[in-house]
Amino acid sequence: QVQLAQSGGGLVQAGGSLRLSCAASGDSFSTYHMAWFRRAPGKEREFVARISSTGTYTGYAESVQGRFTISKDVGKNTAYLQMDSLKPEDTAVYYCAAGGTYATDAGLYYNWGQGTQVTVSS
């Protein structure tokens, strides 16, 4: 098991940037695939980005492709989501997740961060 603690987020104007961090404690962070999901008001939780355990592979939702970058620093036991060119429709609570499968399905991740609010004003 790994425990995840998120930081970052907040309020930003459209076109701005934010970086979310997800610090892991526990064992074997380097063996976990990581992902970010988000839940906007009144909407279902959706996949945002994923990264393989070694950092070799990444994948993004079409809505954030080219604007968001997921990364993983094994030495710091931390995953990141760099969000650039933010849009009002990116407003949501963002969650990091860790699991044993490199997946876009939230059900395949079994360790979750506490969530952090990102609000993008127009």
* Banded model confidence at residue 77, pLDDT cuts 50, 70, 90: very high
What's the confidence (pLDDT) of residue 110?
Answer: 92
Q: Which of 32, 88, 41 is CA-nearest to residue 63?
A: 88
Alpha-carbon distance of 119 to 95, in angstroms, equals 14
What's the confidence (pLDDT) of residue 28?
Answer: 83
Q: What is the pLDDT of residues 18-40, one digit of tens each?
A: 999 999 997 788 899 999 999 99
What's the confidence (pLDDT) of residue 44?
Answer: 96
Distances (CA, A) of 118 to 58, 102, 109: 22, 25, 22
